[in-house]
Amino acid sequence: MPLGPGTTMDLDRHDFQLTELIERIQSNDNRLVALQIPEGLKMQALEMMDTIETETSAKVILAADPCYGACDLVHDKMGMMGVELVAHMGHSQMNIDSGMPTQFIDVTYDGEPELEPIIPFLEAHRAMARQRMENQPAPEDLSEEEAQDRFMDAVGRLAPLTGTKLGLVGSIQHLHLLPEYFDRLEKAGYEVEIPIGGARLSFPGQVLGCNYSGDDDSIGHYLFLGSGDFHPIGLVLHTGKPLAILDPYSGEAREMSLKHIERILRQRFGLIMACGDAQSFGILIGEKPGQMRRSLALRMKRILEKHGKKGYLLALEHVGPELIDFYPVDAFVNTACPRIAIDDAVRYQKPLITPYELEVSLGEKKWETGYQFDEIP
């Protein structure tokens, strides 16, 4: 979800790389093409449609529903309209097949923020990582209360660190900056790694709101090139490592507040506890191609049944309070986009938790291993 509503951007400094798309449409002689654009760039959509229709003989349909990621590719409904090619802008290809020929179009931003203001944060975070390396927690018997405290500690994970390297990551429109910043940070005395993640990620250093799979034990802290708190929150929840943020749009240098992460963890704790007495659950299955976790949803239903509880499988394209709050169940487990439960929890009348959180609530997973982020691999 790199370009969301509210992101402050100077659109003239974005490069919307349409040339390759236009060449493909011309060589295929496509007649009907769909354009899918993230929310923050939609105001440019009509201009792009004009450009494509002027340069080619294709007509363009804008897929005007909200789009927050490459998980959300338009699929069969565009096929039913006779669309021959989907042009998906601003996100990279994932390990999913929408069933439609799709061209992914990069959008890059040319801002290069100064490194100097971020250095004090990196120094402090490297010191935290070194301290954590020296005081590796040994496996121990914790009381229930101590285990719950560990769960709510933003950087209290048990996973051992084998190094204190600086992980350099970014959101997609700034990834072209990483090699240059890698060199600059190495010159400034940091041992830097640009992490390479799993199949859901296309580029080194890329992070998604639901996937931080490049993380490894040798990385002790992170620098994120991008704006907003969306990716930083997920990265710290997932890794339990401190994170500095350098915003190429504004040049601002800051850190992800660990207090903010601990507030989220306390909220997750409260929701897990609130689900303890729940007898019936709605289990949400996302219909978007990159959010569909049918097997996970079925596993949740089996686990609930094992504990004598009811689970109803509910499939939705979009998840929102107005679409689920009225069902007569006690709580919901969400297997669609993991960020809905984390970022939008307060919008729902009933507890909305992740599959991992359900397992903690049922005693299938332990508090003391620290919070586990619900990653889509």
Residues that bind ligand SF4 (CB under 6 A): 1, 68-69, 71, 208-210, 290-291, 337, 339, 376
Asked if 247 contacts 272 with a C-beta cutoff of 8 angstroms, the reply is no
- Of 25 and 235, the one with the shorter C-beta distance to ligand SF4 is 235
Name the phi and psi angles at 315, rounded to 5. Answer: -100, 130
- Of 247 and 375, the one with the shorter C-beta distance to ligand SF4 is 375
- Of 192 and 210, the one with the shorter C-beta distance to ligand SF4 is 210
- Of 56 and 334, the one with the shorter C-beta distance to ligand SF4 is 334
The alpha-helical segments, DSSP class H, found in 3-136 are 19-28, 45-55, 76-80, 119-134
- Cβ 61 to ligand SF4 shortest distance, Å: 22
- Cβ 292 to ligand SF4 shortest distance, Å: 10
Helix H or strand E segment including 122: helix 119-134
Contact partners, residue 295, CB within 8 Å, separation at least 6: none
- Cβ 295 to ligand SF4 shortest distance, Å: 16
C-alpha–C-alpha distance, residues 247 and 326, integer Å: 40
């390396």: which residue's tokens?
133
- Cβ 88 to ligand SF4 shortest distance, Å: 12
Contact partners, residue 308, CB within 8 Å, separation at least 6: none
Cβ-in-10-Å burial (0-12, 13-18, 19+) of 97 comes to exposed
Asked if 281 contacts 310 with a C-beta cutoff of 8 angstroms, the reply is yes
Name the phi and psi angles at 20, rounded to 5. Answer: -60, -40
- Cβ 255 to ligand SF4 shortest distance, Å: 22
R_g (Cα) of the chain, nearest Å: 22
Asked if 202 contacts 230 with a C-beta cutoff of 8 angstroms, the reply is no
- Cβ 189 to ligand SF4 shortest distance, Å: 34
- Of 95 and 136, the one with the shorter C-beta distance to ligand SF4 is 95
Please tell me the chain's helix, strand, coil percentages from 3-state DSSP, rounded to the nearest 5: 40, 20, 45
Name the phi and psi angles at 166, rounded to 5. Answer: -95, 120
Name the phi and psi angles at 292, rounded to 5. Answer: -80, 110
- Residue type (1 letter), 140: E
């120094």: which residue's tokens?
123
- Cβ 345 to ligand SF4 shortest distance, Å: 15
Contact partners, residue 263, CB within 8 Å, separation at least 6: none
């639901």: which residue's tokens?
210
- Of 210 and 324, the one with the shorter C-beta distance to ligand SF4 is 210
Closest of 244, 241, 240, 250 to residue 224, by C-alpha = 244
- Cβ 275 to ligand SF4 shortest distance, Å: 22
- Cβ 239 to ligand SF4 shortest distance, Å: 16
- Of 118 and 245, the one with the shorter C-beta distance to ligand SF4 is 245
- Of 48 and 337, the one with the shorter C-beta distance to ligand SF4 is 337
- Of 208 and 253, the one with the shorter C-beta distance to ligand SF4 is 208
Asked if 65 contacts 287 with a C-beta cutoff of 8 angstroms, the reply is no
- Of 164 and 334, the one with the shorter C-beta distance to ligand SF4 is 334
- Cβ 316 to ligand SF4 shortest distance, Å: 13
Other CB atoms within 10 Å distance of the CB of residue 326: 9
